[in-house]
Every structure is written in C-alpha cells, then in structure tokens.
Chains A and B, each alone.
Chain A
Amino acid sequence: MADAFTAKTFLVIDDFADMRAAIKGILVSLGVAHIDQARNGSEAIAKMQQNHYDVILCDYNLGPGKDGQQVLEEARHRQLIGVDCIFIMITAENTREMVMGAVEYAPDSYLSKPFTKDLLQTRLAKLFERKAHLTVVNQALLAKDISAAIRALDLLISKKPRNLGELLKLKSEICIDSNRLDEAATTLEQVLAIREMPWARLGIGKIQFMRKHFDQALETFRQLIEQDSNFIGAYDWLAKTQTAQRHFAEAEETLRTAVRLSPRGIRRQHALGDLALNNGHPEIAETAYEHAVGLSKHSVLNHPSMFAGLAKSKSANAKHDEALKVTGQINKVFPDQQEAAFYAASTSAIIKTRQGDATGAAAALAEAEDVLARLNETVHSSEHALEMAKTYAGLGQTDKAAEMLRQTIANNHDDDEILTQIVHLCQESGLQYDAETAIREVQRDLVKTNNEGVRLIKQGEFEAAIRLLSQAADEMPGNKTISLNAAKAIIMYMERQGITNDNLQRVRHYIDRVQTLAPDDWRLGDVIARLRKLTTKG
C-alpha cells in the first residue's frame, strides 16, 4: 500500500497555511515524498505548467482570485493536466451548492472538510485503482494520436479490470470527441446493457445529435430530464438540439430553466444571453450576460464577446450610457488584444447608431473593419465574421452584411451550428438576405465538387482529383473540409507514387491552414496521423 503513495507527486492548493500544513502532514504520514504547495489559483496554475502531478488536492475556496472550480477549468482547458491526473475538490459545508452543476469540468472526487487520514487514504487508494494504467492513454491523447489512445484503452478494457466503468466512460468520450460515432455507441450500449446510467444515456443523445437525428436526440434529453429534473447536462444538450431544429424560443426557455437550477455555468449563461438577445428578449439577455461576465472574471473562459453581448443588451434596453461603459471596459480587461479591440469597436458602432450618433458610429465601424483586417489575414474566424455581419446589419449596411454572410456560408458549409446562427441572425435582424437558399446553393456546389473528387480518386485519377480539390481550396481558403480533402488526396497520391518535397509542402500548407482556423477539429488527428505514418515509413 505504501508504495502506491510514495511514487506519486502531489499538489496541495489552499489559501490557509494551517490547512496546507495539516494536509501535508497527513500525506507525509501516508508515505508521500513529493508534495508541492500553492497558496492561490495563479500559483497553482504556474506549478502545473512546470510539473506533472499525479494528484491535485484543491480547496474550493481560495480567497480573492480564482476559485477551485476555475483552477480545474483552466487546468483541463489548457491541458495542463491529463486524463491520468486525479483532481480532488475539497469543499466546506457552505460551498456544496456552488460546486454543483459543474458538468464539463467535474473533479474526480469531492472531499468535505474536515476529513480524517483514514478517509483520505481509502479514497486515494480507490482513485489510484480507477486511474490505473491511464498514463499510456494520456500520452497518446497529448500526441493527438486518437487511434493509439483507443488501442491502449481496448487493451485495458479486455482485461475487465475493476475500473472497467471508468475506462468505458473515457473511451466513449474520446470516440465522441473524435467523431467515431459507431464505436462510441457500441461502447455506451455495453454500459447500458448492464444498467441504465444517466451519463451513458446522455452520450447516446449526443451521438443522435451528431448524426442529426434531432427528433430522437430531443426525446432522449427530454426523458433524462423527466427522470431527474436536476440533470443539468441534459438541459444544455436539449437546448442545443432545439437550436439545431431552429426552435429558438424553446431553446431559450430550456436554458432559462437550466440557469435557475445551476447559475454558475459561464458557457450556459453566455449561450442564454446570445439566444435571448436574438429572440428579442434583451432583459433576459442582460441578466444572463451580467452573470457570465461576473463569473468569468478570473476564468480562462473569459472572452470579449460576453462583454459585447452585455453592452448590446443594455443598449437594447435603452441604457446606452451603461452600454458604452461596458464597451470601455473591454480594452481594460483584455489589454493589447486585437480581438478585444474589434469587439469594442463593433459594439460601439451599434450603440452609437441607436443613440443617433451617426458620425461616432461611422468612426467606430471604420475602426472595427480596420482591426478585423489586421486580425485575420486570409480568413475571418466564423465568430468574427458573424459579429461583423451583425454590425453591418445594425448600421443598415445590408449589402456588406449579406456579403459577409455569403463568405461565412462558403467557409462553413458543413458546420450546422454556424449555419443555424446565420439563419437566426437573418430572421431576427430583419436582414433581407435569404440565408436558407444561399446555404442550399453553396452546399450543392461543394457537394458536387467533393463527390467529383472522390470519384476521380476511386478511379485512380489522383492528379485530376488533386487539381480539382486544390483549386476549390484556393477559392475558399476558409473552408476546412475542402482543405482537408485536398490534403488527403495528395497524401493518398504519395502513398502510391512516393513522396516529393513539393507535395509534402502542399499537404503541410493545408493542414496548417485548418490548424489555424480550428485547432480542435477532430478530422485533423486522422490526417496528421496518416501523414506521420507516410513520412516515417519512407
């Protein structure tokens, strides 16, 4: 038993020296040799950047600055800790309600103060068992080698160990994130065959959503909520599904219920703000953004778009002066960030238009255009493009708004979430732009190009396929799918005909482009792995 503890590295995070000393005392008596300490969230994050920890014991209440949940969020979000790390949240009786509803970033375990040495020892032994042998999996995940991670997990699962449940859960999550939906579904069915588990049922719903079986997904999430009206994750996904079906009012209603149950989720409040503002409910939007901005003060999830939303909803509620104060805050909260300057300018343009200050609005719009041009060299990120389109629409410049939307559709023809946002924007802003038709046309053209490329590849006419796809990729540099398909065609050609430097460079160019646009795109992993295999073999 002692050995399991001696080899592990620990980080203890608490703002009280006495408490840190007490926990350290317990750990030393359990045989732990390597114990680091941190007094607050920033110190903890700095330590995690420098060292690898097996176990992190973090008090929820850390005084001013980040709280324990925000430490966990940032650590996971920035991948400072992996799936093999054990994160234990230490809570007091009065923090019980605050830590609830943490869906995306839940700790591995909670421990309420005061706890005894015996309890910590028993708990840690259990967690070590649960996380056993996950280091290999974590390494593969860090290298973005999803297939290797799944192979490693399958090997562990085949031995039917005591932590089988944990392994199946992890495997289903990895499969869902990498869009291996069939494998994810099989894994979840395996769990559900033994017992009905809400997390597994939620996973089934996510898969139905990703397969665009929205009616089924809706039913799954509704049933989960019926069984447990406090299951926050089900509300978030229900709202996503309703949004995808373009039932925006219902989606807003769902999120309103969810924030009543669990008001501390930043993403949830942000999503509610966006929906409510577009649905013409600026009061509800203002409250939601107010929460989001307040909660994210010390959070890694803080973003200028939440301030922009708050300012716009205040202005929609005819509080223009307060709104301008919020836009003034943006550059202070995010100093020297081009993106923040862009949101500050675009939002000011809208507010000043509503105030009747045409000169001020024109100046702000010019600044927004200027910053945006510097911000993204070849392609605008879809968030920025939509923000700019909204601004044009708000200032009555409908032609520019329509052109912005046309580009955004062309660059994201297969991203339903963005397309839905565009439709919602056109519906509510009264913009005379037929988004639905534009989407159908772009999709039809792109599907045609794509199918033609696939047909050429199947017939072995690689050079023609590459020519076709490269041309399309150069015409639509922001379209990730086309870039990835062009890269894949060249890789397949090299697999048969051998590697040339020229072709290698073209592939890397397309991959880099997608990586800049969307570093988390699940398709990147496969293409990179295939390229790696090709280059190491040759």
Chain B
Amino acid sequence: MDSMDFSDILASSIHDIKNSLGLILTNLEDLIGNPENHIANPRQASLLQHEARRANSNLIQLLTLYKLGHEQLSMRVTANNLDDFLEEVVAENHSVCRALELELGYHCEPDLEGYFDLELVRSVLDSTIGNARRYARSRIELSAAQEDGFLVIRVEDDGGGFPPALIGLLEYQPGEFAEATNPGRTQLGLYFATRIAQLHHNGDTVGRIHLVNSHHLTGGCFELCLP
C-alpha cells in the first residue's frame, strides 16, 4: 500500500461507489417503470432518481479529471450526427425530467455532423442538464448549430438565469470563482466542462464554453463550442 497514492485509493473507491450507484439506478428505473408498483408519492421516487443520477455524473467527472491529471485519458474523436446524438441524450434524461414535470426537447439540422469524443461530451451535457433541472420552471431545451467555424451545443432553461459574475467566456481555473459560489451550479461541473472543451482542438483552434442568459429561452444558456 505504501506505493499507492491517496488519489489512487480515492479513484478505486469511486469506481466501487459508481458500480453500486449503477445498480441502484437500474433497479430504481425498474421500480418506477413497473405499473404494478404502487408508490404513495411518485415524485419522491423521481427525486431519488434525479439525485442518484447527479451523484453518478459527478463521480464520472471526478474519475475523468483524475485520469486527465494522471495523463491516462485518451480521446476518441469520431464523426457524430448531432440529431442522433441529441436524441439519445434527451432520451436518457427524459424520464427524470417528465417526473419533475419539465419538458425536455432538442432541435438541430438533421444532417449536422460534428467531430468530438461522444462519451466525454455526453457527460458534460448530462451534468449540465442535471443542473438545469434545478433551475428550469417548465422547460429545458438542447440545440446544436454550426456557427463561425465552431459546433455550438446549447443547453437552455427557462429559469432565473446565471448570476452576473458567471456570464461570459470561461477560462476556468479551480478556485477562481470561489466568491461566486452557488450551491447548485457547482464549480466541479463548470471546471469539468471547460477541461473537456479544451481537450477538443482542430489545428490551433481550441474548444471553450460560454455562459449567457436569455438566448432563446428566458433563463440560463450553457454553450459548448467545439472546433
């Protein structure tokens, strides 16, 4: 054990916790999905599911950052159809949103293609949707478009929007936004998104994230720009 770094112990524990969460999530879905089960307050079950998924996506982010720090993360950039991709992301988050009485939709050109690591970008979007769920009043919307040489993927909600301190282009370093701490929009999520965006590059152009308010819906709008 001497040679084992504490972060290694943490990483292997996180794997273990994640496996348990995986089984909890799968069974929870069965439990909720089975019409023969009678749950007095279905909203409670959905909240459980919502929080378990958030915990799961946080763990994935931690593991990814751990690997990034140990130079063990390899990228798998593929050509992806955005219509297919967003449809999947929406499908995966649909049931939780429905239970929370939120509408979740997406729109983009059917032929739009982009080059990125599918799993990494998926975890960015999952966690962003997870955050948006806490702020949205009735609606979360995903979209993608080609703008100025970047593929821009947006996650918008119709809530109160981001606090002014967070608005703009993020070149995020850990701890930098400590004073703007907001219990819902965790630092981890934004830091993770920034790092993943930066891993994507094309020639000299590097990916980035942007936060704005009232883009299309009234609330916050998270923009992931990939070259």
Chain A positions within 8 Å of B, measured between CB atoms, are 18-19, 22, 25, 29, 92-94, 96-97, 100, 110, 112-119, 121-123, 126, 195, 197, 228, 230, 261
Contacts and interface: CB of A to CB of B under 8 A. Distances in A.
A114 B26 contact: yes
A93 B91 contact: no
Give the top 10 A-B pairs by smallest Cβ distance, nearest first: A114-B22, A118-B91, A122-B91, A119-B92, A22-B26, A114-B25, A122-B88, A93-B63, A116-B92, A113-B22
Given A114-B25, A117-B29, 14 more contacts: A92-B18, A96-B74, A97-B74, A114-B21, A116-B29, A116-B95, A118-B91, A121-B91, A122-B88, A122-B92, A195-B113, A197-B79, A228-B77, A230-B75
A27 B123 CA distance: 24
A115 B15 contact: no
Given A25-B30, A126-B84, A119 B91 contact: yes
Contacts of A121: 91
B186 interface: no
B76 interface: yes
A242 B15 CA distance: 43
Contacts of A123: 88
Interface in B71-91: 72-77, 79, 84, 87-88, 91
Contacts of B113: 195
A389 to B, nearest CB: 41
A93 B87 contact: no
A121 B88 CA distance: 9
A110 B117 CA distance: 12
A230 B74 contact: yes
Contacts of B23: 18-19, 22, 114
A117 B94 CA distance: 11
A117 B84 contact: no
11 contacts: A18-B23, A22-B23, A92-B18, A93-B60, A96-B119, A110-B119, A112-B119, A114-B25, A114-B56, A119-B88, A261-B74
Contacts of A122: 87-88, 91-92
Interface string B7-37: 0000000010011011101110110010000
A100 B33 contact: no
A244 to B, nearest CB: 29
B72 A115 contact: no
Q: Is the interface of B mostly helix, strand, loop or mixed?
A: helix
Contacts of B75: 230
Interface of B: 15, 18-19, 21-23, 25-27, 29-30, 33, 56, 60, 63-64, 67, 72-77, 79, 84, 87-88, 91-92, 94-95, 113, 119
Q: Which of A19, A22, A100 has the most CB of B within 10 A?
A: A22
B92 A118 contact: yes
A22 B26 CA distance: 7
B103 to A, nearest CB: 15
A228 B78 CA distance: 11
Nearest to A99: B76
B150 to A, nearest CB: 17
Contacts of B79: 195, 197
A22 B92 contact: no
Nearest to B30: A25
B88 A22 contact: no
A202 B79 CA distance: 15
Contacts of B77: 228, 230
Given A118-B95, A122-B88, A93 B74 contact: no
Nearest to A122: B91
Contacts of A100: 74, 76
B56 to A, nearest CB: 7
A192 to B, nearest CB: 13
Given A22-B27, A197-B79, A115 B92 contact: yes
A484 to B, nearest CB: 40
A112 B25 CA distance: 13
Nearest to A18: B23
Contacts of A119: 88, 91-92
Q: Which of B26, B77, B79 has the most CB of A within 10 A?
A: B26
A123 B84 CA distance: 9
Contact of A93 (B15, B25, B30, B88): B15
B22 to A, nearest CB: 4
B92 A93 contact: no
A218 to B, nearest CB: 23
B18 A93 contact: yes
Contacts of B22: 113-114
Contacts of A126: 84
Contacts of B74: 96-97, 100, 230, 261
Q: Which of B30, B56, B75 has the most CB of A within 10 A?
A: B30
A367 B21 CA distance: 59
B193 to A, nearest CB: 18
A29 B32 CA distance: 13
A29 B18 contact: no
A118 B94 contact: yes
Nearest to B24: A114
Nearest to A121: B91
A93 B77 CA distance: 17
Contacts of B84: 126
Given A25-B30, A112-B119, A122-B87, A97 B72 contact: yes
Contacts of A18: 23
A167 B147 CA distance: 30
B145 to A, nearest CB: 17
B72 A22 contact: no
A144 to B, nearest CB: 32
Contacts of B19: 92
A111 to B, nearest CB: 10
A228 B203 CA distance: 10
A112 B30 CA distance: 18
